[in-house]
Structure 1
Amino acid sequence: MAEKQGDECGSFSAEEVIAKFERLTRDAAAVQRETLRRILADNAGAEYLRGLGLGGRTDPDSFRACVPLATHADMEPYIARIADEGDTSHVLTATPVTSISLSSGTTQGKRKYLLFNDDLFKCAMQTGQTSFAFRNRAFPVEDGKSLQFIYASRQFKTKGGLTATTATTNVYRHRDFKAHMRHTQSECCSPSEVLFCPDFAESLYCHLLCGLVLADDVRTVSATFAHSLVLAFRTFERVWEELCADIRHGVPSPTRVTSPAVRRAVSALLVAPNPALADEVARRCRGLVNWRGVIPALWPRARYVSSIVTGSMEHYVKKLRHYAGALPLVALDYGATEGMIAANVEPREPPESATFAVLPNIAYFEFIPLSLRGCDVAGAADARYTEADPVGLTDVAVGEHYEVVMTTFAGLYRYRLGDVVKVAGLYNSTPKLKVVCRRNLVLSINIDKNSEHDLQLAVDSAAKVLAAGAGRLEVVDYTSHADVSRDPGHYVVFWELSAEPDGDGHVLQSCCDELDRAFTDPGYVGSRKARAIGPLELRVLRRGTFQKVLRHYLSLGSPVNQFKLPRCVAPSSSAAGVLEILAANAVEAFFSTAYD
């Protein structure tokens, strides 16, 4: 008999959690059929399903025959009735909608509304509990705390009266969150007032301060995204002396920590002046070379560092390793605002090799087989794919690429997630997925089609040229833009570097040429040779430019916990402000000579 989705955590040990996962994945096909049956039976009265003629049937064949594949645009009118009109009838689900989850909006330029309910919370907790159990078996942590750089996001009421915020904040604010926390990770160093602080910079500063005060208790260091961890320690490089002063005097900085509730909570941790600890932190900081290994230096009892490192976060892995020293980097789970998908059950694998085993009872999964028209799949963009009919979870082929389709307990039916994954292997009978890229197109001017992954590969290739130069510079971050303001249009790649590029013009010109050559899509190469696309432009930005971009998105309501720098700035209302920031902070520009 298939086990139900979202069983309560209770007091299960890690080995019991792992044993449950083993049972679920031995016959994933049966678990999937039962999961679909439950979703359809529970929501048989939902207007969306009634209108498709299922007639109460719950088998996969009937479901696929009656229910079409859907995108967010297809679901949006139904979600809007719930969110904006306050429609409490069974529009998409019979289960009450408790709140609205918002996507980040940094990738597509528009925040999506999605439904959140208790079932989705239970799925998230089960996924976290599973990965924590495997993580704790690989890196045992019997006691202690976790230094977590996590931030609750702003909340607002929709026109229909529902609270809207990020999916992670919906999880944090759930009535059962604290009860589940002890089964999914170590206790956070920071009090909840820091987590819910409305000012991101203040919250980040306090996370660092609390982590230093409780350094002997820290066993893990984590954040939702690798970007957040790198940002935290780049910030630490600038403010460590202020943190030492706070510890020395026993009070948080009055300019850094202004919220009364946060000051009270953090002051309670500081308790009293501690000059000995302040001196020790300062001694360790001064002993570091270029901040390499700062995490184990300051938190010597930490066992590992964890965050999401896939997709657009891969760029930050190198810098994260720099800060982590010899500590293992552990990839966190695979999920989306729409729902969780898979857990990392092999936490010893390095981020570049990380795969995620699908939990077969948290949603019903299908996979659209993808093949390419004569191109290497690693650089696939949407327009270069051909599709076949979706297959079930246990019908996928190892080594092949697919788009993920989800049917959830929160009102999404055959929903195209837009993620491209590769089936890297099997865990019992459930697939292990490697995240490849988003299907949405990144760069295109003529007949060229380049994805986010294509851009990343080009930047990585050019960054090697940069690192080999005399200045040993690094690419801190990057984005791009397809400039069609003049004919022919051309690609613009924006780089922020680790130091000012004085005297490195020749090296940067070589980087620009390498960027241009590294886009190997035949449509791009042909268009460049035919002069239908102009020479690629590399613009070097002032240091701190991408911090300004982050603040711009935060000012528009984007959540820092979900922030992902858009790798292509496409035309949109939010992009106009980003392009203005990038243009105003460009200090040098180089044009490719690769096709001259």
Structure 2
Amino acid sequence: MSKLLRGSFAVAQARQCVNSWLNAGRNSRVFTPVPRNQPKMLRRASVMVEKLADPETIWKMAHPGKTHSMALPITAWYIGAGIVGFLLLPLFIPFSNLMLVVIPTVTVVTLIHFFFYSYPQWPLKTRIRQYITSRIFHFYGMYLSWQYHNDSKKLHHTQEQTLLALLKENATTQYSTDHNLGNITSIEDFRERHPIIKYEYIRPYVEREMQGTRNQLTKRKPTYFGKTSGTTGSPSIVPHTRFTGLQQLGNLALFMYNADNKVQWSELHWMRPVWKASYTPPRIIEKTESGVLRGPVTANPIWTKMGEIYTVPSIAFQIEDAGAGGYVQILFALRFRELGAIEGIFASLVYFAFQRMESEWKDLVNDIRHGTLKPDPKVPLHIRQELLKHLRPDAQRADELEIEFNKGFEGIGSRLWPELGIINCITTGAFAIYAKYLREFYCKGILLYSTCLASTEGFLGANFWPFNQPIPRYSILPRTHFYEFIPLEEISKPDPETVLADELRIGSDYELVITTGSGLCRYRMGDLIRVVSFYNQVPLFEFVSRASAMLSSKGEKITEELIYSCLSIAEKELKAAGKLERIADYSSCESVLMEMVKAPLTQKGSHHIYFVEMVPTKPDADVKELAKELAEKIDHEIAKRHFRYKELREINSLSPPVVAPVKAEAFHRLKEYMQMTSTASFAQIKIPRVLAKQELLKFLLNERL
């Protein structure tokens, strides 16, 4: 009996540890350990919880009787009872007396909530706008969450209704007429009538829209033309209309409501200034012949109407040079002690911002101490003068920063900003390596929340589960797009078969195909996703890679996800051996691309080349020997996980891989080069994990050690 009591006590204490972890001030993922002087059974229970419980299990342990279901605790009975009660109440209390009580009570409660909830240093107009917007989004998001839950039980029906609504929205367009889409009545009819397409198929319609010819791809007049980065090919242009804008706002409300149930999203990200680490210079925005602007979707005018809600004055976004603008962004973020969230779009942007902070912290501290902005000819005089109006000498803050910087940069994020709880950025695919370093070094204990999977074409999925780390999972949005999926084995076929959202299988990989309100029909996204779970009938998926981002000189199809996974394992082994501190960045290519640029090869036969920026443990380490060892480990790890690769290696059809070490910050220079030689903004640029462009390969060849 005594052992049973001690065991129950141990479990209770372990649960307290879990609760302390979950309810920590910034939703940190740091587990509160049990002290060594506590009973052995208690420590065992704590270790069991820490090691064996995934985020879902821990959440359920800390909230008995609750689930992660998005279903609202509202039934028809409760709604009916509430309506009847409200209607009958005037029979017992005179209506005038009731209003005398209700109106003042609601007003007082709202005012108290407003003054405690909103940021006091904002102008009153901004405070009111942000507060009212957050409340509207909360209640609208509550309704959309209820709708999402109901839709998840009848997915096929919902998707069919969504398809018909999207086709009806653009039924009178030239594209719809040319493809006879106006009288489609079912999913089957649509799939038979319209082929799977890529951007070139719709390019003539988009170009006519940009020239001012109306009703080509969209019925409504475009409000903006979103332009892709063109990292993996030529840029694509997608029209955005008021219809798609309202869809985006609805998706934002749905996300915000569910995020608020798990993290302090509105409080940290909406009701106080945010550091916007992403940057889009004005020169990137172009005006089309139709008079409508064209540029990155992140620079869509819909987001510029938010007002002065960032840590930096909005005039700073007019700085043309991304480097000069980035310095100003960091400077103003450091001045703000109460920072609760960073908006980075991509993990790489946040990583480079912290990296720059590490190299230029003395200038930043000096500017904060004296209320100055260091000389930079790339900041126009009128912008500099306006920024200086917002800068005041702050010796106290400068001293705080200097002390923390001198301690080193491990965990610097939470030391500079104790209330920093959320970094909103994409952490998958090409950005996984940056997210890993942020979690392990700069931003220990801070939640990196990949809120959605989005592209210029639209929101593809939303992440309602912030603690599913390090690989986020997303839900499709059944009322936003009509989804189809190409199975992995069909991707290379000219006319691939597709399956619907309610026909997917857990563990299988697919390429996304969407039909949208922008007039895109059965449009191949080129994104590979993996189904990992279901919410009722709605598939939940992880992003794998771009479908084109594969090493496949002999048909082996090595995805960028597999490359990163094996590279991480090799890095871990070399780190444990005391030879490598970390891998800062990487890319890869097939040997045939080297032959195309007439670069000398170190070995014969088809093989993979990995360009790796390594940080050895010892400054005088033999980097070339380390590269050979890394290549052997990558080869071994891929062979363990990929049967076709192993088979090709065993018969010598595929030669061993080669690791080509590159100079420090080579990939940062590559990113700057990509930005200078394209029309994309710095925020849009992604380092390709599998090289396809000869000019990028030539650049990295010049960066080799």
Task: Say if 1:206 and 1:257, in contact at 8 Å, map to a contact too.
Answer: no
Mean Cα displacement is larger for which, 549-558 or 386-395?
Answer: 386-395
Name the structure 2 match of 1:287.
Answer: 407
Question: C-alpha distance in 2, partners of 1:399/1:517?
Answer: 24
Alignment equivalent of 1:489, drawn from 587, 603, 606: 606
Name the structure 2 match of 1:163.
Answer: 293
Cα RMSD, aligned residues only: 2.7
Structure richer in helix, relative to its length? 2
Mean Cα displacement is larger for which, 95-104 or 512-521?
Answer: 512-521
Q: After superposition, where does 1:71-86 map in structure 2 within 5 Å? A: 71-83=198-210, 86=211
Aligned pair 1:47/2:174, yes or no? yes
Mean Cα displacement is larger for which, 443-452 or 276-285?
Answer: 443-452
Alignment equivalent of 2:480, drawn from 359, 362, 366: 362
Name the structure 1 match of 2:444.
Answer: 325
Question: C-alpha distance in 2, partners of 1:441/1:412?
Answer: 23
How far is 1:160 from its partner?
A: 6.0
Question: C-alpha distance in 1, partners of 2:577/2:550?
Answer: 29
Name the structure 1 match of 2:422.
Answer: 304
Task: Say if 2:628 and 2:658, in contact at 8 Å, map to a contact too.
Answer: no
Aligned pair 1:94/2:225, yes or no? no
Name the structure 2 match of 1:315.
Answer: 433
Aligned pair 1:213/2:335, yes or no? yes
Question: C-alpha distance in 2, partners of 1:446/1:388?
Answer: 21
Q: After superposition, where does 1:9-20 map in structure 2 within 5 Å? A: 11-14=135-138, 16-20=140-144
Name the structure 2 match of 1:379.
Answer: none
The amino acid of 1:586's aligned partner reads R
Name the structure 1 match of 2:57.
Answer: none
Task: Say if 1:496 and 1:542, in contact at 8 Å, map to a contact too.
Answer: yes
Aligned pair 1:145/2:273, yes or no? yes
Name the structure 2 match of 1:191.
Answer: 313
How far is 1:371 from its partner?
A: 5.2
Question: C-alpha distance in 1, partners of 2:506/2:561?
Answer: 21
Residues 245 and 539 of structure 1: CA distance in aligned 2, closer, same or farther (over 3 Å): same
Alignment equivalent of 1:351, drawn from 470, 473, 476: 470
Question: C-alpha distance in 2, partners of 1:98/1:315?
Answer: 36
Mean Cα displacement is larger for which, 524-533 or 32-41?
Answer: 524-533
> Aligned to 1:326, what secondary structure does the other structure show?
coil
Residues 50 and 9 of structure 1: CA distance in aligned 2, closer, same or farther (over 3 Å): farther
Task: Say if 1:475 and 1:495, in contact at 8 Å, map to a contact too.
Answer: yes
Question: C-alpha distance in 1, partners of 2:185/2:213?
Answer: 24
Aligned pair 1:228/2:349, yes or no? yes
The amino acid of 2:394's aligned partner reads N
Question: C-alpha distance in 2, partners of 1:253/1:421?
Answer: 46
Name the structure 2 match of 1:275.
Answer: 395
> Aligned to 1:269, what secondary structure does the other structure show?
coil
Q: After superposition, where does 1:394-543 map in structure 2 within 5 Å? A: 394-484=502-592, 485=595, 488-498=605-615, 502-505=620-623, 506-520=625-639, 521-543=642-664
> Aligned to 1:12, what secondary structure does the other structure show?
helix
Residues 135 and 268 of structure 1: CA distance in aligned 2, closer, same or farther (over 3 Å): farther
Question: C-alpha distance in 1, partners of 2:133/2:482?
Answer: 22
Question: C-alpha distance in 2, partners of 1:258/1:422?
Answer: 45
Aligned pair 1:128/2:252, yes or no? yes
Structure 2 gaps, min length 5: 1-131, 596-600
> Aligned to 1:40, what secondary structure does the other structure show?
helix
Question: C-alpha distance in 2, partners of 1:509/1:211?
Answer: 42
Task: Say if 2:141 and 2:257, in contact at 8 Å, map to a contact too.
Answer: yes
How far is 1:336 from its partner?
A: 1.3
Task: Say if 2:580 and 2:615, in contact at 8 Å, map to a contact too.
Answer: no
Name the structure 1 match of 2:242.
Answer: 118
The structure having more radius of gyration, on CA atoms, is 2
Task: Say if 2:451 and 2:464, in contact at 8 Å, map to a contact too.
Answer: no
> Aligned to 2:243, what secondary structure does the other structure show?
helix
Name the structure 2 match of 1:5.
Answer: none
Give CA deviations for 1:70-126 in whole Å, capped at 9, x if unaligned: 12232223323333xx151322121212332111122x1422222222222223333
Task: Say if 1:545 and 1:582, in contact at 8 Å, map to a contact too.
Answer: yes
Question: C-alpha distance in 1, partners of 2:702/2:454?
Answer: 36
The amino acid of 1:465's aligned partner reads E
Task: Say if 2:410 and 2:442, in contact at 8 Å, map to a contact too.
Answer: yes
> Aligned to 1:474, what secondary structure does the other structure show?
strand
| Structure with the larger RCO, 1 or 2 (CA within 8 Å, 6+ apart) | 1
> Aligned to 2:558, what secondary structure does the other structure show?
coil
Task: Say if 1:330 and 1:351, in contact at 8 Å, map to a contact too.
Answer: no
Name the structure 1 match of 2:228.
Answer: 103
Residues 491 and 398 of structure 1: CA distance in aligned 2, closer, same or farther (over 3 Å): closer
Question: C-alpha distance in 1, partners of 2:631/2:435?
Answer: 23
How far is 1:225 from its partner?
A: 0.4
The amino acid of 1:331's aligned partner reads S
Task: Say if 1:210 and 1:266, in contact at 8 Å, map to a contact too.
Answer: no
> Aligned to 2:584, what secondary structure does the other structure show?
strand
How far is 1:461 from its partner?
A: 2.7
How far is 1:400 from its partner?
A: 3.5
The amino acid of 1:247's aligned partner reads I
Task: Say if 1:40 and 1:58, in contact at 8 Å, map to a contact too.
Answer: no
The amino acid of 1:427's aligned partner reads Y
Task: Say if 1:54 and 1:62, in contact at 8 Å, map to a contact too.
Answer: no
Question: C-alpha distance in 1, partners of 2:160/2:663?
Answer: 54
Aligned length: 550
Identity of aligned residues (%): 25
Structure 1 gaps, min length 5: 1-7, 373-381, 588-596
Task: Say if 1:481 and 1:568, in contact at 8 Å, map to a contact too.
Answer: yes
Alignment equivalent of 1:565, drawn from 677, 683, 687: 687
Mean Cα displacement is larger for which, 234-243 or 187-196?
Answer: 187-196
How far is 1:66 from its partner?
A: 1.4
Residues 413 and 459 of structure 1: CA distance in aligned 2, closer, same or farther (over 3 Å): same
**TM-score after normalising by structure 1:** 0.85
Question: C-alpha distance in 1, partners of 2:288/2:325?
Answer: 26
Residues 12 and 159 of structure 1: CA distance in aligned 2, closer, same or farther (over 3 Å): closer
Question: C-alpha distance in 2, partners of 1:530/1:401?
Answer: 28
Task: Say if 1:447 and 1:527, in contact at 8 Å, map to a contact too.
Answer: no
Mean Cα displacement is larger for which, 9-18 or 279-288?
Answer: 9-18
Name the structure 1 match of 2:326.
Answer: 204
Give CA deviations for 1:161-191 in whole Å, capped at 9, x if unaligned: 5432111112xx23x7535x89xxxx32122
Question: C-alpha distance in 2, partners of 1:386/1:456?
Answer: 29
Give CA deviations for 1:358-399 in whole Å, capped at 9, x if unaligned: 222222222234459xxxxxxxxx55x999743333343444
Give CA deviations for 1:207-259 in whole Å, capped at 9, x if unaligned: 1111111122x111230001111111011100111000101111111128622
Structure richer in strand, relative to its length? 1
How far is 1:471 from its partner?
A: 4.1
Alignment equivalent of 2:500, drawn from 377, 392, 397: 392
Residues 136 and 206 of structure 1: CA distance in aligned 2, closer, same or farther (over 3 Å): farther
The amino acid of 2:665's aligned partner reads G
> Aligned to 1:565, what secondary structure does the other structure show?
coil
Question: C-alpha distance in 2, partners of 1:26/1:256?
Answer: 57
The amino acid of 1:43's aligned partner reads N
